[in-house]
């Protein structure tokens, strides 16, 4: 999608959207490659014991066709929601393609979710079918009555009470299927996203969302694709980051994706996987990078073939960026977006569009600004809300069943993100914090990202989060919650040392006046710190 260019400004000037009126993700990311070469590698499936399965586009087309026939026979029709509750496996890719070709709506659900979270998403979406495994069936058993619209469940681990055998059904189904003719704006997927209040909302996206992602994906790995590229992410494919930043964009370009189920992220296993498979492109969220950084550097211990790496989901930070250059011999390109409108800001070191401490510039094709409460653009350097102008092909269609929430997401034609940031005169965006995460102390508005970046620069700190704590004098003070690295023990002396470390590296008004040592950092399934839970601790 991105043209060849000598620098970022030239790229932006040359870029033009080309969104066809009729578009189907399953056809574009699967069938067309299978017709050209059915043996072309689509998924490199790596098992826990090291075995590798090479899955071609031919398998992906046939399996998705058979599954589409199975779902249709079970009553799933155009527009129905079909939930996918599985870890990184080839069946997930096949399920997505089947659902899109059927004209139904894919509902990816992260495998880390428990029964209550699963029940809410199934009930709220009115899902008609669920594709899962034995672990998913176990979670479903106690809550199935809460999902009255759920008519069919298929498990890749075989049949059970009220559960059909995925593989058996596939084997008996016809291998031919004529994809439904879909418009680019027709619903294709729904991903639930958590807000600051209330239950998660289902962000409904059209088939065009994949095309809308492509400039941001290609920018992060510019130029992309190149011959021999192989993509991997530890992020769950149920998350927008795993699904729309890696799996679907790679398959759209005919680039193979590594599938590897991790029960829990482990830095050494990640290094070994990238070396053994020859991964060339990676998307690694900031939290995973910080976990890698907390251990021994891979430099000199592993032989990587990496040529590009992107990161997003939360602020990357200067420390992680510098560590990445030393560890991998490349610059990690940070990008920004949210489930409703992803990959709209990004850095690209290859095109000279990277500034340390910034998220980058507006990705070609997207109009992004920092606005005030009335929807007017802020002055350069002034803190405001990051917003994206509609229409935009990557922007969501609506919140499922929440028309009022959909309307409240916009100020005029600006889709608000709920994120505070600044935009400088050169077009670089800097993330300050969520609306409810910004700390106001002694008249200063303090973003937690900069403090957290500084905190993890201390040799004892593995993970850190900064929140505002109510204070009668300063309105709020900065409080830091810290997970220590192995070999360090909590103490008042260490807390004082960390406070001084931040005070001397940032400023007197930003250092944490309170430090709390904790064993585990509360995080969402996508690896973001849940600061609300930390604030509740006081």
3-state secondary structure 195-232: CCCCCCEEEEEECHHHHHHHHHHHHHCCCCCCCCCEEE
pLDDT at 508: 81
Tell me what the pLDDT averaged over the chain comes to: 94
- β-bridge mates for residue 386, sequence order: 370
Report yes or no: 76 and 152 within 8 Å, Cβ to Cβ. Answer: yes
Cα angle, residue 398 at apex, residues 221 and 214 outer, rounded to 5°: 15
Whether residue 538 is predicted with pLDDT greater than 90 in this model: the reply is no
- β-bridge mates for residue 256, sequence order: 230
Measured distance CA(226)–CA(245) in Å, rounded? 17
Give the domain ranges of the chain.
30-37+57-206, 437-537
* Residue 301 confidence class, pLDDT cut points 50, 70, 90: very high
Report yes or no: 375 and 414 within 8 Å, Cβ to Cβ. Answer: yes
Measured distance CA(289)–CA(262) in Å, rounded? 15
Task: Name which of 211-220, 310-319, 426-435 the model is least confident about.
Answer: 310-319
pLDDT at 307: 98
Measured distance CA(96)–CA(32) in Å, rounded? 15
Express each pLDDT in 45-78 by its tens digit: 999 999 999 999 999 999 999 999 999 999 999 9
**What are residue 491's phi and psi, to 5 degrees?**
-165, 160
Fold of 437-537: GMP Synthetase; Chain A, domain 3 (3.30.300)
Measured distance CA(399)–CA(409) in Å, rounded? 10
Express each pLDDT in 196-224 by its tens digit: 456 889 999 999 999 999 999 999 999 99
Task: Name which of 107-111, 248-252, 334-338, 527-531 the model is least confident about.
Answer: 527-531
Report yes or no: 114 and 139 within 8 Å, Cβ to Cβ. Answer: yes
Strand pairing category for 152-155 and 164-165: parallel
Q: What's the whole-model pTM score? A: 0.88
SS3 content of the chain, % helix, strand, coil (to 5): 30, 25, 40
Long-range interactions of 325-333: CB distance < 8 A, separation 24+: 326/297, 326/299, 327/292, 327/293, 327/297, 327/298, 327/299, 328/298, 328/299, 328/304, 329/299, 329/304, 330/306, 332/284, 332/289, 333/219, 333/220, 333/221, 333/308, 333/309, 333/360
Whether residue 418 is predicted with pLDDT greater than 60 in this model: the reply is yes
Q: Detail the DSSP E strand segments found in 229-279.
A: 230-232, 256-260
Fold of 30-37+57-206: Rossmann fold (3.40.50)
Mean pLDDT of 450-474: 91
Measured distance CA(390)–CA(186) in Å, rounded? 17
Residue 489 CB contacts under 8 Å (≥ 6 apart), including other chains:
none
Whether residue 427 is predicted with pLDDT greater than 60 in this model: the reply is yes
Helix axes 448-455, 318-328, angle to 10 degrees: 50
3-state secondary structure 281-305: EEECCHHHHHHHHCCCCCCCCCCCC
Residue 334 CB contacts under 8 Å (≥ 6 apart), including other chains:
310, 311, 312, 315, 316, 321, 346, 347, 359, 360
Residue 33 CB contacts under 8 Å (≥ 6 apart), including other chains:
40, 42, 57, 251, 254
Express each pLDDT in 518-535 by its tens digit: 999 998 866 788 888 999
In terms of Cβ atoms closer than 10 Å to its own Cβ (0-12, 13-18, 19+), residue 358 is buried
SS3 173: coil
Report yes or no: 313 and 527 within 8 Å, Cβ to Cβ. Answer: yes
**What are residue 451's phi and psi, to 5 degrees?**
-65, -45
Whether residue 481 is predicted with pLDDT greater than 70 in this model: the reply is yes
pLDDT at 290: 86
Residue 376 CB contacts under 8 Å (≥ 6 apart), including other chains:
none
pLDDT at 197: 53
Please, what is the end-to-end C-alpha distance for the chain in angstroms?
49
Between 25 and 439, the more confident residue is 25
Sign of CA dihedral 339, 345, 348, 354: negative
Mean pLDDT of 294-312: 96
In terms of Cβ atoms closer than 10 Å to its own Cβ (0-12, 13-18, 19+), residue 40 is middle
Residue 473 CB contacts under 8 Å (≥ 6 apart), including other chains:
none
Mean pLDDT of 444-458: 86
**What are residue 121's phi and psi, to 5 degrees?**
-70, -40
Strand pairing category for 129-132 and 152-155: parallel
Residue 480 CB contacts under 8 Å (≥ 6 apart), including other chains:
451, 455, 464, 465, 466, 498, 502, 512, 514, 515, 516
Mean pLDDT of 398-405: 97
């Amino acid at each position: 999608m991105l043209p060849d260019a000598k620098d970022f400004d030239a790229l932006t000037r040359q870029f033009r959207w080309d969104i066809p009126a009729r578009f189907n993700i399953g056809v574009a990311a699967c069938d067309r490659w299978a017709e050209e070469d059915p043996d072309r590698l689509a998924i490199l499936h790596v098992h826990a014991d090291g075995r590798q399965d090479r899955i071609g586009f031919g398998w992906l087309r046939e399996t998705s066709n058979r599954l589409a026939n199975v779902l249709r026979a079970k009553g799933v029709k155009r527009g129905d929601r079909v939930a996918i509750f599985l870890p990184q496996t080839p069946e997930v890719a096949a399920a997505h393609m089947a659902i899109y070709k059927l004209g139904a709506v894919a509902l990816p659900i992260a495998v880390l979710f428990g029964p209550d979270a699963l029940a809410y998403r199934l009930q709220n979406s009115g899902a008609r079918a669920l594709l899962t495994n034995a672990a998913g069936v176990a979670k479903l058993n106690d809550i199935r009555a809460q999902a009255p619209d759920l008519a069919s469940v298929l498990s890749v681990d075989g049949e059970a009470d009220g559960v059909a055998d995925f593989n058996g059904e596939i084997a008996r189904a016809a291998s031919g299927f004529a994809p439904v003719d879909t418009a680019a704006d027709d619903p294709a997927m729904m991903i639930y996203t958590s807000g600051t209040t209330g239950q998660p909302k289902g962000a409904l996206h059209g088939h065009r969302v994949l095309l809308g992602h492509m400039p941001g994906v290609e920018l992060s790995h510019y130029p992309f694709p190149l011959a021999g590229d192989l993509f991997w992410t530890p992020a769950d494919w149920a998350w927008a980051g795993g699904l729309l930043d890696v799996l679907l964009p790679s398959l759209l370009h005919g680039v193979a994706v590594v599938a590897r189920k991790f029960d829990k992220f482990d830095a050494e296993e990640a290094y070994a996987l990238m070396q053994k498979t020859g991964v060339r492109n990676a998307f690694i969220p900031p939290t995973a990078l910080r976990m890698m950084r907390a251990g021994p550097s891979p430099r000199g211990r592993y032989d990587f073939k990496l040529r590009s790496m992107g990161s997003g989901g939360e602020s990357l930070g200067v420390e992680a960026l510098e560590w990445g250059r030393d560890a991998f011999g490349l610059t990690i390109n940070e990008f920004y977006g949210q489930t409703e409108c992803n990959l709209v800001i990004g850095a690209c070191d290859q095109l000279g569009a990277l500034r340390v401490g910034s998220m980058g510039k507006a990705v070609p094709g997207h109009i992004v600004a920092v606005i005030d409460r009335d929807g007017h653009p802020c002055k350069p350097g002034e803190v405001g809300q990051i917003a994206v102008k509609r229409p935009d092909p990557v922007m969501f269609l609506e919140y499922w069943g929440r028309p009022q929430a959909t309307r409240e997401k916009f100020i005029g034609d600006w889709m608000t993100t709920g994120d505070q940031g600044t935009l400088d005169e050169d077009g670089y965006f800097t993330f300050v914090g969520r609306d409810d995460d910004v700390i106001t102390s002694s008249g200063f508005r303090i973003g937690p990202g900069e403090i957290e970046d500084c905190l993890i620069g201390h040799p004892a700190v593995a993970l850190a989060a900064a929140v505002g704590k109510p204070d009668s004098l300063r309105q709020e003070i900065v409080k830091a919650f810290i997970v220590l690295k192995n070999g360090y023990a909590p103490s008042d002396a260490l807390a004082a040392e960390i406070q001084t470390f931040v005070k001397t590296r940032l400023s007197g008004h930003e250092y944490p006046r309170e430090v709390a040592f904790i064993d585990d950092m509360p995080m969402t399934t996508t690896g973001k710190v849940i600061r609300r839970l930390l604030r509740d601790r006081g």
